[in-house]
Structure 1
């Protein structure tokens, strides 16, 4: 079966968890690898997603190691939506706003 891989990057502003994993992943930029396989027997070229991986670089005593954490498109989109919502909430909080000038 013919396969292809595409790579992209996603940046999380906040620490996050993805899927059912209880491991908290630190905020930062991560590479996403999507593997797709060619659907045979069609009169045109079409691919279907076979797997999605989040590349997680080790930190601390695991520095220098990279793991491919298998995930799904839906889990990844959910983690990104939660990160966006948390960032918007933090930006709207009073603590995040600049102090107002006293005009009295």
Structure 2
């Protein structure tokens, strides 16, 4: 089956926690990868998300050691919504 990876960047204004990551992550911009597979048999091209990954630490970190953690896309969306709803 054909798989593709799309890339995005998310921003958190405050520290946050995600299932699958063993520590609280600081505020910042984070690289996110989504693996998607082609759905066969449709009249038009469509993809289904099969995995989501976060790159740690944030983009602004000076640390040279990088890790990639598999996370649930819905947990990421919930954390982003919670972050956006916090008063500044």
TM range (shorter): 0.7 to 0.9
Task: Determine which structure has the larger helix proportion and give its number.
Answer: 1
The verdict on how the C-alpha distance between 1:21 and 1:57 changes in structure 2, with shifts beyond 3 A counting, is closer
- Alignment TM-score, normalising by the size of structure 2: 0.83
Q: Which stretches of structure 1, 4 residues or more, deviate above 3 A after TM superposition?
A: none
- Alignment TM-score, normalising by the size of structure 1: 0.72
- For residues 7-60 of structure 1, the C-alpha deviation after alignment (integer angstroms, 9 at most, x for no partner) is 111111111101264510011100111110011233322110010111112868
Backbone CA RMSD of aligned residues: 2.0
- Structure showing greater Rg: 1
The answer as to 2:15 corresponding to 1:6 is no
Task: Determine which structure has the larger strand proportion and give its number.
Answer: 2
Is there any run of 5+ residues in structure 2 with no aligned partner, and where? none
Number of corresponding residues: 86
Is there any run of 5+ residues in structure 1 with no aligned partner, and where? 92-104
Q: Which has the higher contact order (CA 8 A, sep 6+)?
A: 2
